[in-house]
Structure 1
Amino acid sequence: GGPSSFLNGSGAVGGSLNMITKLANRDEDTFEGRVSYGRYDTMETSVGFNKALNSGDGPRHYARLDYSRTSTNGYIDRQENGAGNLAFSLLSDINDQLSHTLAIEYLEEKEDSPYWGTPVLQPAVGTLHIDKHNRFNNYNVEDGRYEQRTRWLRSITDYRIDDSNQLRNTFYHYNGQRDYRNLEVYRYNPGNTAIARSGGYRQRHDQEVNGNRVELTHQGQLFGLASDWAFGVDYNRNQQTAYPLSKGAFDSIDPNGFQPDHFLDIPGMDAPRAKGRSTNTNTTAGFVENRTRLTDQLSLVTALRYDHIDFDVVDHVTRAKLNRRWDAFTGRLGLVYDLTSNISLYTQYSTSAEPPGGSLTGASISQVGDFDLSTGRQVEVGSKFDFLDGRGSATAAAYRIVRKNISVPSSTVPNTTEQAGQQTSTGIELAASFKVTPKLLAAGNFSWVNAEYDEFNETIGGVVYSRKGKTPVNIPDRVANLWLTYDLAPGWQVGADARYVSSVYANTANTQWVPSYTVYGLSMTHDLDQHVQLSARLRNLTDEVYARFIHQTNTQYYLGEPRSLEVAVQWRY
């Protein structure tokens, strides 16, 4: 996300997820890879080749092939996962001005008996706890399943008009199919002697995205000042169809010894697959960004984006249809000031807009009909600086984010959302690294945030509750990390790390919360030569039992990984 679509995608304030895959390049031929093995038979194998296919005059071609495979038996009983990813790209320099990149990726993943969390002990009020004796139990059915198959195709054409102007056209295609077949909800009885299982859920997602983006960059002058521009248009069509089937109560089991049973033992789950609803989201966007140097030290950054969103949803059960259209202008205004060669200051104001539920929405007709466009605005100030002759570097930022009409998970109805009127987040982020001695490096970061609902009336059991002033679920107000690395000898390095996460609320009423936790780790690396490195990493040194996530509707811990050791060899030639 981010208002600068040609840099970071589109639509959101507060952060961005930038997925960068390796593409063929003009560097020297390379062969690189990594093989690792860890506790719970966790294995990874990944290899990549980059090679020039020809030389001499005329068109030049470069190819890259990457393959990776991961698998694990999982630290939860019966949970096994395997995933394979294959990527190929071909870069062709047609002439000095024109080049083309074709990139193709395919991913296939399968998880047996996926883990949907560990139920908390009753009464579920105040600090939530689990039965640590049964921390590795998997209450899903024996043949629970999650699978996904995706392909991603990009055709990227770059044309250098002259030294100041470049044109890029990117056609992209994504196709994904995801299948779920699980029993997902588990709850202790009042005496904590039995667990009621419910929430049988079978669904398929068919999704396809096709789009094209054209971008023009220009380096020039504006009123005699150095000024860089980027212009672009983007059109994409996101089609999704869901095939849902869900059931309620199934059985009650003894957590100290039980048979997981099978998915088809759940009444009604053998029904033929049928379409539930389909959505089509057509987005047409235009954007422009500028960076102008007002002085040698001060730069002005501006961006403006227009989105026309046409959203259709069809309910195949009731045969009802609905169409919604939205138009949104978003943008960014910022200043960057180089106080010295080692210190820069910046400030920024940005806005955002996105459809209800985001780009992967499975929203129902009633939801889309009642929901408004989600909007946001963000103000941020910060600094980046080096100190003590380059021995240290640091960043600091303070921000305030206001989001309106945002979708939040329902507290009572699984796999559905409600719309909150407004949420505000105010926070600071600090990060630094410092060379304590020529051999000892210390690095760390700290973040604090105060997030709360300003407007949110939640309906539970027909009663409306105001959540004004409450903190959203799963948001810690403090997170801190620390790393230490020490060079024992040439080619040998040891390290230690620590991560702290404060407690989080488990419900919107803020009457349930999950304790804070701290996990520690150790590592060692050894360079066999300039090409090959061996490493060992010990995670969760103290075997801390902690919840890395809490399921809001089901009130279930998603437990973090226990103590585990991983060894790896990595090479690059």
Structure 2
Amino acid sequence: MFRLTTLALLISSVTCAWAQDETLPASTISATAESVEGTQLDLDQPIASGSRLNLSARENPASISVADRAMMERIGARTFQDAANALPGVNASAPPGLGGYVSYRGFSGSQISQMFNGINLQYGAAARPIGAWIYDRVELLGGPSSFLNGSGAVGGSLNMITKLASRDKDSIEGRVSYGRYDSMETAIGINQALNDGDGPRHYARLDYSRTQSNGYIDRQENGAGNLAFSLLSDINERLSHTLAIEYLEEKEDSPYWGTPTLRPQSGELHIDKHNRFNNYNVEDGRYEQRTRWLRSITDYQISDSLQLRNTFYHYNGERDYRNLEVYRYSADNSGVVRSGAYRQRHDQEVNGNRLELTQQGELFGLASDWAYGLDYSRNQQTNYPLSISAPFDTVNPDGFAPGHWGDINGMDAPRSKGRSTWTNTSSGFVENRTQLTEQLALISALRYDHIDFDVTEHASGKKLDRRWDTVTGRLGLVYAFTPTFSVYSQYSTSAEPPGGALTSASIAQVGDLDISTGRQVEVGTKFDFLDGRGTATAAAYQIVRKNISVPSSTTPNTTEQAGQQTSTGIELAASFKVTPKLLAAANFAWVNAEYDEFNESVGGVVYSRKGKNPVNIPDKTANLWLTYDLAPGWQVGADARYVASVYADTANTMWLPSYTLYGLSSTYQMNKNLQLSARLRNLTDEVYANYIHQSNLQYYLGEPRSLELAVQWSY
């Protein structure tokens, strides 16, 4: 049940504070309107993730949400995934192996595109959440976005956008924080004009962050360094170039692969809370990744109404796993059987180029803007797997020696190639916005993708070569009753190759399966109210996805055709400046996601899953933030996040309970350059799971109560 009671207490505190402020003389209110910004909705900022036409959220016929830098700092986002969870309907987590897991609008995995600066790596493990310092904002587009980002993305697209060199001003900023479990962050950012005067002008930006933690699970230590450098060069008044380089190194010792659920495993799944911080991985388990990004962006203003942009991009990622991953209780729950030794390396490289031309003009005497483009990418990955599924040992959860990787027989074999994939995608796209009347705008888009996929399974020598051609699009209307109140409707489509992410697909996962298609109908409204003190958005949608495939529940590394899934839902978001000192912001999402056609084979028996819900999809999520300027320089905040229960199997016979997390924060602005802050997360020390592994039924615990102190400065 949705925990309205506790949320109501927080909302009532808003009302009380409002009532108190209303009794004060006006001279006592010294805070400015800007002092409580940060979680406020901004509908007029252009958002690249929703269109190539530089449309704002208000102008776009779709649900668009943004967590910008100010919001990330206000909510204490430590990773881009924290920022994503602040957006309506998003439920993101980082289970091992899956990297960045996101559910949204009833879909998950590869059905949600996770992009970096508009580039889709087509592999979920590449979206592992890392420090938020180098990111400028996280943008979310709801529903099918194949017309914009290529194949996939039936549920929506998340775009993580990094900071770039700016012409605005020279600045130096930094942050140092320390929290429970020896969690530390040290970060610095510098933006600097390199020259002045006549001729070309150059601006540089450097950001670096270092994070480390002992982890709230035993023996799980993590450290990561993240570097971003960019150089902006204005060659002349019309031509500019940006070179952006990013590098990440991350290492995690004895990664946490989940907590086993108690037997019998039926109904609501439970864990032994006494041993919930146990780490059943071996002592020297390991996860490491090294990634490099390079982007070369050229902008040329051909004329006042015509602009050309070319983006060349290169990505290289290497990820290593070496872990004991599967844990199950014995029948009487007295011991934990450990199995699933797995060693893996991923070598991934992506190269591509995107050419875009935008034009402002007229069509039949009506104002009409166009965007045209060509896109080519080559995504290659080779994995080096070695696994032993047999049990390794049985340990007493009340006390055990974790052992070492070298104790597992057969796992010292030389590294050898398992599977290599090559995905070449060639695309052409066009987008248009025509102002039919002063109040009514028509937005349309069309995209063609040619996908050339090759896979080689080195052990058997088997090869597969497949080709797919897809056409997707969007048609939408936006009607502005006033400059601050609009309604919209849209129809959009998606196309996705079988197997989801082709980058890691096997022959068995692709085979002769057809393209998966999706379509969405959405209506909504975006408006300001009470003379701009409040802003709100509302959306209702239905998405139908056909010819979808899901992992087999009985045969590893194979795919079953699920037929059709329908997701129907609503999303609401609002921010309200209750008083000049008090800001309330909230969002709520509800979705009914179920299979319309899905026959699943279990133990040789076929079961219909019609009407059942997909795994790990909450039907409700909600966020609430209250921010109050207590005194000059002092600000306090409270927040709450609710996530509904999720099913752990496609038969919907097992589930995880819902949870609500509360937090408190306080900041003190010592002067214009220096800020101190304290943040208490999971105030009630809720024991909750943010993900359940479907085949192993392992419960991935969320973070317990923790306190973080930070110092941040800017000059």
Find the aligned partners of 1:267 and 1:460 in 2 and give their Cα distance. Answer: 31
Are the structure 2 counterparts of residues 189 and 563 from structure 1 closer, same or farther at C-alpha, using a change threshold of 3 Å? Answer: same
CA deviation vs aligned residue, 1:143-164 (integer Å, no higher than 9, x gap): 1111111101011111110100
Q: Which residue of 2 aligns with 1:246?
A: 387
- The one of 446, 459, 464 aligned to 1:304: 446
Alpha-carbon distance in 2 for matches of 1:571, 1:417: 51
Distance in 2 (alpha carbons) for counterparts of 1:260 and 1:319: 38
Higher percent of residues as helix: 2
CA distance in 1, matches of 2:347, 2:407: 26
Structure 2 counterpart of 1:61, one-letter code: H
Out of 257, 264, 270, the residue aligned to residue 123 of structure 1 is 264
1:382-531 alignment runs, 5 A limit = 382-413=524-555, 417-531=559-673
* Cα shift readout 1:20-55 (whole Å, capped 9, x = no counterpart): 011112111111122111100111111111111111
Amino acid at match of 1:385: F
CA distance in 2, matches of 1:233, 1:4: 17
Q: What letter is aligned with 1:177?
A: E
1:12 aligns with 2:153: yes
Q: Distance in 2 between matches of 1:369 and 1:415?
A: 12
Check conservation: 1:120, 1:187, Cα contact below 8 A: yes
Consecutive unaligned residues in structure 2, runs of 5 or more: 1-112, 114-140
Contact map agreement 1:5 1:287 (CA 8 A) in 2? no
CA offsets 1:273-294 (integer angstroms, 9 cap, x no match): 1111110000000000001111
Note if 1:286 corresponds to 2:423. no
Partner of 2:95: none
Matches of 1:25 and 1:443, distance apart in 2: 29
Q: Do the aligned residues in 1 keep the contact of 2:177 with 2:709 (CA within 8 Å)?
A: yes
Whether 1:27 and 2:27 are equivalent positions in the alignment is no
State the partner residue of 1:539: 681
User: How far, CA to CA, are the matches of 1:196 and 1:63 in structure 2?
Assistant: 54
Q: Which residue of 2 aligns with 1:164?
A: 305
**Change beyond 3 A, Cα 1:401–1:4:** closer
TM-superposition CA deviations, 1:57-76 (whole Å, max 9, x none) = 11111111111111110000
Give CA deviations for 1:374-416 in whole Å, capped at 9, x if unaligned. 2211111111111111221111100111122334344345566
Instruction: For 1:522 and 1:412, locate their aligned partners in 2 and report how far apart those are by CA, in whole Å.
Output: 45
C-alpha distance in structure 2 between counterparts of 1:104 and 1:374, whole Å: 35
| Native 8 Å contact 1:279 1:314 kept in 2 | yes
**Structure 1 CA distance, aligned partners of 2:341 and 2:606?**
28
Q: 1:80 aligns with which of 183, 203, 221?
A: 221
Tell me the secondary structure at the aligned position of residue 161 of structure 2: coil
Partner of 2:212: 71
Is 1:275 the counterpart of 2:417? The answer is: yes
Q: How far did residue 272 of structure 1 move?
A: 0.9
1:340 aligned partner, one-letter code: T
Q: How does 1:218-367 map to 2 (within 5 A)?
A: 218-248=359-389, 249-359=391-501, 361-367=503-509
For normalisation by structure 2, the TM-score amounts to 0.78
Alignment of 1:548-559 (within 5 A): 548-559=690-701
Question: Residues 98 and 277 of structure 1: is their aligned pair in 2 closer, same or farther, counting only changes over 3 Å?
Answer: same
* Residue 375 to residue 411, structure 1, CA distance change in 2 (3 Å): same
Is the contact made by 2:499 and 2:509 (CA closer than 8 Å) also made in structure 1?
no
1:16 aligned counterpart, secondary structure: strand
Determine the C-alpha separation between the residues in 1 that align with 2:307 and 2:356: 8
What letter is aligned with 1:525?
Answer: T
- Determine if the alignment matches structure 1 residue 373 to structure 2 residue 515: yes
SS of 1:256's equivalent? coil
Cα offset, 1:368, TM superposition:
1.3
Identity of aligned residues (%): 80
Work out the CA distance in 1 between the residues paired with 2:633 and 2:651: 53
Q: Which amino acid aligns with 1:297?
A: Q
Distance 1:356 1:525 in 2: 49
Structure with the greater relative contact order (CA < 8 A, sep ≥ 6): 1 or 2?
2
| Secondary structure of the corresponding residue to residue 12 of structure 1 | coil
Which residue in the other structure is 1:133 paired with?
A: 274
Conserved 8 A contact 2:146-2:473: no
The corresponding residue for 2:97 is none
Letter in 2 for 1:347: S
Q: Deviations over 1:198-224 (max 9, x none)?
A: 111111111101111100000000111
Cα contact 2:499–2:510 (8 A) shared by 1 = no
Give the counterpart of 1:148 among 289, 295, 298: 289
Bigger drift between 415-424 and 173-182 goes to: 415-424
**Separation in structure 1 between the aligned mates of residue 151 and residue 468 of structure 2, nearest angstrom:** 15
Q: For 2:662, give the aligned amino acid.
A: Y
Maintained 8 Å contact 1:183/1:198? yes
Gaps of 5+ in 1: none
Residue 117 (structure 1) shift: 0.7
Contact 1:410–1:553 under 8 Å retained in 2: no
Distance 2:407 2:548 in 1: 38
Q: How many correspondences in the alignment? A: 573
Secondary structure, aligned partner of 1:40: helix
Q: Residue 243 of structure 2 aligns to which amino acid in structure 1?
A: L
User: For residue 258 of structure 2, what is the amino acid of its counterpart?
Assistant: G
What is the rounded CA distance, in whole Å, between the counterparts of 1:112 and 1:407 in structure 2? Answer: 34
Q: Letter of the aligned partner of 2:238 in structure 1?
A: Q
The within-5 A match list for 1:49-64 is 49-64=190-205
TM-score normalised by structure 1 residue count: 0.97
C-alpha displacement of 1:130: 0.4
Query: Secondary structure, in 3 states, of the residue corresponding to 1:143?
Result: coil
In the alignment, structure 1 residue 210 sits paired with structure 2 residue 351? yes
Is the 1:411–1:507 Cα contact (8 Å) retained in structure 2? Answer: no
1:184 aligned partner: 325
Higher strand share: 1
Task: Name the SS of the counterpart of 1:275 in structure 2.
Answer: coil
Q: Is 501-510 or 401-410 further displaced after alignment?
A: 401-410
Which amino acid in the other structure matches residue 382 of structure 1?
G
1:193 corresponds to which residue? Answer: 334
How far apart are the structure 2 equivalents of 1:563 and 1:158? Answer: 47
Amino acid at match of 2:335: A
Separation in 2, partners of 1:339, 1:169: 37
Whole-Å separation in 1 of the counterparts to 2:195 and 2:568: 55
1:317 partner letter: A
Structure 2 SS opposite 1:309: strand
1:467 Cα shift? Answer: 1.4
1:369 and 1:296 map into 2 onto residues whose CA distance is 51
Residue 432 of structure 1 and its aligned partner are, at CA, apart by 1.3
Q: Is the 8 A contact 1:501 1:518 kept in 2?
A: yes
Match of 1:103 among 244, 250, 254: 244
Q: Identify which range, 349-358 or 303-312, moves more after superposition.
A: 349-358
User: Partners in 2 of 1:120 and 1:37 — Cα distance?
Assistant: 32
Task: Check the 8 A contact 1:113/1:140 in 2, yes or no.
Answer: yes
Contact conserved, 1:435 with 1:442, CA < 8 A, in 2? yes
Mapped to 2, the partners of 1:10 and 1:17 lie a distance apart of: 14
Confirm or deny: 8 A CA contact 1:6 1:232 kept in the other structure. no
Listed one character per residue, the Cα deviations across residues 117-168 of structure 1 (whole Å, up to 9, x for unaligned) are: 1010000000111000001000111111111111010111111101000001
Q: What residue number does 1:561 align with?
A: 703
| Aligned amino acid, residue 469 of structure 2 | D
Q: 1:205 to 1:407 in 2, by over 3 A?
A: farther
